[in-house]
Structure 1
């Protein structure tokens, strides 16, 4: 179950990193023991795009074993999107549920298909994501104290950037893996918040 200390740690970190949220959507409806309560906070960055962050703070399945740490790993997911893009809270809720429903270990470099959610790219009907470190949003990512990581004695929390991707990109990741995808195609100059961006591959 999510605990109060972890919830407060996330809220404090986001406020210091991104400032107070412009909107906050919360739900205490029981959708899954590890994803209740659920919150989605949106932060308007400028007139062109916003970022929304949300998830459970339950430990990701199998993360204790994979990281060899009894605290396991908890995730918050960040989506960059136009300010008026509909459906972001529901998409984040479904993304937060995914590891627990599928009993899947998710990590930076994972690619996911979220059943039942509409795609966030105009030319891609499926809801497909590539999870990576928030290199466009965290100016302290490559320091000893990144904004998107919380290392508490009782828990560890990592913010992952959930980048909407096309089916062609999803298939490339399946065939070649995330290291080759990032090396060959991820371009810091690309507008990943745009629902009309061109496929990278």
Structure 2
């Protein structure tokens, strides 16, 4: 039994060495990647955010995302329009109410609106004016964030070697559809 183990051990020892010696290595050729290398500038997102802070939409122009500029100015214009409209109506109802407190009775809403309705209208238009201000500030901040994130995402290498695709397969057991995502990475 001991002799058998020695023969088996020597067979493995010499057999592995001879098997390794017979393997021929092929020459491996390394080809250049088809994608072009662009150096990453870590200050690009900061520049884009700064440009959008100074002039809204300029960060999107810096990122070459020109189609976003009308969206930025449209959002700011809508916020400004509603701010201006609600501010005019607020000032109108406030002035009418002040004149009524002073004793004047010749306003255009005399006999139509009571003092309580004028106070309620003031509060409503003031609240809407404040919401419009928040919308304008929100679009301004989103403009800055979008420019920064857009500049960050432009630095990622996105090509066909990396893809995320939806995957819909029919289960063979109960014939229901399984839905998922497939992440492919090719070397």
Name the TM-score class by shorter chain.
under 0.3
Higher strand share: 1
Higher RCO, Cα 8 Å, sep 6+ = 2
Point out the structure with max Rg over C-alpha. Answer: 2
TM-score (norm 1): 0.20
